[in-house]
Amino acid sequence: MIIFAFASLFPALLLVPACAFGGVLPLASVFSITVLVFILDRITNAKPIEVSNENGHGLSLLIGVAHFVGLTTCVWGIAQAEHLSTSDKVLIFIGAGLWLGQVSNSNAHELIHRTSRGPRRLGIAIYCSLLFGHHASAHPKVHHVHAGTDRDPNSARSGEGFYHFLMRAWLGGFQEGLMAEKIARAGAKQVLSRGSHPYVGYITGGVLTVLASLIIGGFTGLVALLAIAAYAQIQLFLSDYVQHYGLRRKMLEDGRFEPIGPNHSWNTPHWYSSAMMLNAPRHSDHHTRPSRNFPSLELDESTMPILPQPLPVMACLALVPNIWCRVMDHRVAKWMTH
């Protein structure tokens, strides 16, 4: 658990003092979640993390607290800290977007899968603070049901560029999540009030976050929040795009899709980036056993599609669609005929 804690929290521990003191810390915070991750993944020769029976609850809660401290501090730093230079603020913005999108998002994803009400509400609050609350409905009720089919907005099709996918997935996730909640509420045994609708909570949480940013930093604070939230959301969509690109479940004779299996998600074995993202790159096992805690997720390179590079590197590659397709399309074809 130590490696998970260090890899996930180290960038946040640099971001907060970076806002307070500037100097080399803004650059160090970005370095810690980019160059350092790349180097450590390389020098360890992609050695995977061993499976653990620990549940990781304590670390998830700690990262949840760090999320709100870090987001608040970064909005303040970008909007109000006069001792920071423009380059410092740009670096803090980049570091915040990367940490919130890659680490805190992975943690919120872990929390919304928990059965306990408290951790799940913390995960929802994290997504609301990134103006992305509806993901708490869309992810478990749409993505996990329809992943690997065209019914899932977050499963990229073969040949589909990231920028086209981004708009389709954001709008589709919001709409499909809303429809899933509507169907669930229609089937409820008791009459539910309009105020109890999850989307009311998501929107309220987003509004409260916007108001908090105005209090912290005025109009500039609001702009900082919107920019950080947008950047973090892009990181989330890059993850979904990469991890499901092109892989499709077959339709059975009865018109239903085959159950999701280990061959329907892309994975990576690289230990440091996996630790930083709480084993999110072990995506196949998560989809086949979504209730498993992150330290217990397994990786089988003989049955699971493996990306040629660590997940953060592949996410960068996805930003250049022509190169991405040249690297990935023949790999997709291999697994679709596997």
DSSP string, 31-48: HHHTHHHHHHHHHTTTPP
Mean per-residue pLDDT, 299-303 = 89
Position 45 confidence tier, pLDDT thresholds 50, 70, 90: low
Mean per-residue pLDDT, 191-216 = 91
Weakest mean pLDDT among 38-52, 93-107, 166-180: 38-52
Whether 245 shows a pLDDT value over 60: the answer reads yes
pLDDT in the model for residue 47: 65
pLDDT in the model for residue 46: 56
Position 281 confidence tier, pLDDT thresholds 50, 70, 90: very high
Q: Give me the domain span that covers residue 83.
A: 2-247+256-336
A 10 A CB-CB count for 87 gives 11
Position 48 confidence tier, pLDDT thresholds 50, 70, 90: low
Position 248 confidence tier, pLDDT thresholds 50, 70, 90: very high
Identify which has the larger pLDDT, 287 or 47.
Answer: 287
pLDDT in the model for residue 327: 97
Q: How many domains does the chain have?
A: 1
pLDDT in the model for residue 82: 92
Position 31 confidence tier, pLDDT thresholds 50, 70, 90: very high
Whether 324 shows a pLDDT value over 90: the answer reads yes
